[in-house]
Amino acid sequence: MQIITDIKKIRTIIAQAKRRGQSIGFVPTMGALHTGHASLIQKSRRENAVTVLSVFVNPKQFGAREDFAAYPREKNKDCLFAKKQKVDIIFYPSVNKIYPRSFLTSIKVDRITKTLCGRFRPGHFDGVALVVTKLLNIVTPDVLYLGQKDAQQCAVLKQLVRDLDIPVKINICPTVRENDGLAMSSRNQYLTPKQRREAPVLYRALRDARQKIQNGERRTARVIKHIAALIRHNSSGRIQYIECVNADTLQPLQGLRGEVLIALAVWFGKARLIDNIIVKI
C-alpha cells in the first residue's frame, strides 16, 4: 500500500495505472475507519484493479459550532486498517494541500441540499460537493463508492456528477450496522456507555415504521409520530428531525407513495447520529 500526501504524486501513480488499462475505484472518507468503510473498500476491490482511499477531515463541511476540532484523527490506526483491507493507495492530504491560501472557489447545489440535514447544517453539503469535486479531479476514478448511511450526501453527489458531467459511476453501498442495529459511524465514539445502549432505538424505530407502512399506513404524520414516540420513550436522545421524503428528490411527501426515504437525526449528548431506511410502496 502506498501512502500519498502529494497531489502531483498521486496523479502520476494513477496515470500509470490507467496506461496499464487498470480501472480505479475510489472511497473518500474522513478517517476513523470502521467496518462500514471496509465494506466500501471491499466492494471497490472486487470491481476494480486499483482501490484508492482518501482520508481528509474537510473543514468546509463543518459549521462554526460543529465538531471539526474534536473529530477523531487516527492516522496510524487508519493506515494499518487500510493496509489490512488491501487498499492500494491511501491519499492523505493536508488541509493546505487541498485548500491553499489562494483558494477562492465554492460550489452550490440547490434544493436537495436544503431539506433533511441541510436545514440544520447550512453550507454542509456545498462543502461536501466542493471537496468531492476536487478529489474526483485528482483521483479521476471510474467508480465512486458511497454509503447509504449518508443518504442525502449520496443524492447530492449524484446530482453534482449529473449536473457537471463528471465522468464517474456512483455505487451506493448498504449501511453496515453493529449487531444491535446501530449504524456504524466515526461519531459513535462520542457516545457514553448509556447513550450507546440507547442508540439502537433509532434503527428499531425505523424498522417499526417500515412495518407500519407495509401494513398499509400511508399518513406521513402518523409514521413520524410513531418513530418519535419510540425514541422518546426508550432513550435520552433529542430529536432534530424525522422526515419522510421522496428517495430521489428528497422533497417532503404528504401521502406516502413510490420510493420513500425515512431519515432522521438525533442528538445523544455530543453525538449527532443519523440513520435512514428506504421503503418501496
Kindly tell me which of 37 and 212 has the beta carbon lying closer to ligand AMP.
Answer: 37
Kindly tell me which of 174 and 269 has the beta carbon lying closer to ligand AMP.
Answer: 174
Q: Does the annotation count 233 as an active-site position?
A: no
Q: Least distance in Å: CB of 141 to ligand AMP?
A: 13
- Cα(58)–Cα(29) distance, integer angstroms: 10
Q: Least distance in Å: CB of 26 to ligand AMP?
A: 11
CB 42 within 8 A of CB 86: no
CB 151 within 8 A of CB 244: no
CB 11 within 8 A of CB 138: yes
Which residue among the candidates 37, 124, 226, 233 is catalytic per the annotation? 37
Kindly tell me which of 149 and 212 has the beta carbon lying closer to ligand AMP.
Answer: 149
Position closest to ligand AMP via CB: 147
Kindly tell me which of 37 and 134 has the beta carbon lying closer to ligand AMP.
Answer: 37
Sign of CA dihedral 188, 130, 153, 45: negative
Q: Which residues contact 208 (CB under 8 A, 6 or more apart)?
A: 226, 227, 230
What 3-state class would DSSP assign to 89? strand
What 3-state class would DSSP assign to 46? helix
Q: Least distance in Å: CB of 229 to ligand AMP?
A: 26
Q: Which residues bind ligand AMP (CB under 6 A)?
A: 29-30, 36-37, 39-40, 146-147, 149-150, 173, 175-176, 183-186
Q: What are phi and psi of 263, to 5 degrees?
A: -130, 150
Q: Least distance in Å: CB of 239 to ligand AMP?
A: 21
Q: Least distance in Å: CB of 254 to ligand AMP?
A: 29
Kindly tell me which of 35 and 211 has the beta carbon lying closer to ligand AMP.
Answer: 35
Cell numbers placing 122: 447550512
Strands (E) across 136-270 are located at 143-147, 169-173, 238-246, 259-268
Which residues are catalytic, by number? Answer: 37
